[in-house]
Amino acid sequence: MGDLMILNVLLIFFSLPIFTIGASLTALYTMTFKLLDETEGNLFKNFVKAFKNNFKQATVIWLVALAAGLFLAYDASLSYVSTSIVAKILMGVVILVAIVYAMWFSWVFPVQAKFDNPVKVNMKNAALMMVIHMFPTTLLITVLNVVPLLLLWFQTSLFFWMLPFVVLLMFAFIAYNNSKQLKKAFADYIPEPEDPADERGSDL
């Protein structure tokens, strides 16, 4: 629990410039996988190392994901203010796309943390794994990622009560529990390394 609290604070601190969120999430998942394997070592040092090693690729993925998320939010806002039938249909489409987007988002940074591939390959593989492991892994990790955020968004009174939990533990706790599910799925794609130091997999 203490390790997760440290990682949660590191995630928030390294995410403050906003455009570094992708690298921070990748570093977080790198460390939660290490926690599961009991190879975490120095948390701060290894988090920073993972952040630096994945910065370029994870930032590209984050900017693509951010642009897609903003586009969905814009479409949703247009549909919400209109009462036409077309707008209602569009809202339904946006909701379906948003669900798929949330599923893919739940996979892509763990994939970046675990697999040493070009950006396009990791983004594609995240989509493939999302479908292949839809039941139960994708559904479980997506619910765990999305539900707390929706509660905080729609129940603003909860935000102030949960703020200490959010700052000290929530994101790392979610990532750690997601990693338990993802580790089982990733086992199908990661060969036993000849060198114990080689922990990352390759293309599907």
Q: What is the identity of the amino acid at 202?
A: S
* Residue 201 pLDDT: 67
Q: What is the identity of the amino acid at 193?
A: P
**Do the domain assignments include residue 182?**
yes
**Do the domain assignments include residue 191?**
no
**Do the domain assignments include residue 68?**
yes
* Residue 158 pLDDT: 82
Distance CA 81, CA 102 (A): 23
Give the residue from 44, 57, 50 showing the smallest Cα distance to 7: 44
Tens of each residue's pLDDT in the chain, 204 residues: 999 999 999 999 999 999 999 999 999 999 999 999 999 999 999 999 999 999 999 999 999 999 999 999 999 998 888 878 988 899 999 999 999 999 999 999 999 999 999 999 999 999 999 999 999 999 999 999 999 999 888 888 888 888 999 999 999 999 999 999 999 999 989 877 665 555 666 556
* Residue 110 pLDDT: 98
Distance CA 59, CA 65 (A): 10
**Do the domain assignments include residue 109?**
yes
User: Per residue in 150-175, pLDDT tens?
Assistant: 988 888 888 888 899 999 999 999 99
For the CA atoms of 90, 148, 100, 183, what is the dihedral angle to 10 degrees? Answer: 180
Domains in the chain: how many in total?
A: 1
* Residue 153 pLDDT: 85
**Do the domain assignments include residue 159?**
yes
**Do the domain assignments include residue 200?**
no
**Do the domain assignments include residue 79?**
yes
Q: Provide the whole-model pTM.
A: 0.92
Count Cβ atoms below 10 Å from residue 77 Cβ, excluding itself: 11
* Residue 46 pLDDT: 98
The domain in which residue 23 lies consists of 2-186
* Residue 194 pLDDT: 61
Distance CA 106, CA 123 (A): 11
